[in-house]
Chain A
Amino acid sequence: ILNVEQSPQSLHVQEGDSTNFTCSFPSSNFYALHWYRWETAKSPEALFVMTLNGDEKKKGRISATLNTKEGYSYLYIKGSQPEDSATYLCAFPSTGTASKLTFGTGTRLQVTL
């Protein structure tokens, strides 16, 4: 069983703050890294799928970077808004099969006014 670790476990920021989280994963046999945004009682929503070392992806105020050699990915949120409040999950395919993801426990973000 692979070890995918996320930090911090939770984060509480003020509206307008920028923030970032970390996902650490095994650096050997890298296939891809997935980031999801999950609000309670809703489906996890895919943010990014990253496959190449040095990848940087952006979606609005959210961006992510990937370092496969050292086994980490950062997720950044610029100018946090209350609607960004959610749990952010990263996941790592344990084999070359998209069906077999190992998830981290997530970073729970709360943005207040």
Chain B
Amino acid sequence: NAGVTQTPKFQVLKTGQSMTLQCAQDMNHEYMSWYRQDPGMGLRLIHYSVGAGITDQGEVPNGYNVSRSTTEDFPLRLLSAAPSQTSVYFCASSLAGVGNTIYFGEGSWLTVV
């Protein structure tokens, strides 16, 4: 009963390094999203996808890339890490339609030094 799986759970990066946060879901959900959580702020949308091959920007997309080559996977790439990207990252998925429950992964804690 995997649901939404994110890896890694914890990562420390040096400024300028690149990395990919992995997200996979096994519920055949069309919609997938990436959010970041910062102290004193609500979860903010980075990028989202409404299906394989379709991605779009959210509220805070700068410094991140995504792709959706399969229904199951939605990786988030940090191109050149900056201290401002220190955050907790959540991947989420759902069936299409605003009335459906959205399922979250357990989060990835990223520190950029």
Contact = CB atoms under 8 A, between A and B. Distances in A.
Interface residues of B, number: 32
A43 interface: yes
B42 A106 contact: yes
For chain A, the bracket of interface size reads 20 to 34
Contacts of A42: 106-107
Contacts of B98: 31-32, 51, 93, 96-98
26 contacts: A1-B59, A32-B98, A34-B102, A41-B106, A42-B106, A44-B90, A44-B104, A45-B104, A46-B101, A49-B101, A89-B42, A91-B43, A96-B98, A98-B98, A99-B33, A99-B45, A99-B48, A99-B49, A99-B92, A100-B45, A100-B58, A101-B102, A102-B59, A103-B42, A105-B40, A105-B42
Interface of B: 4, 31-33, 35, 40-45, 48-50, 58-59, 90, 92, 94-107
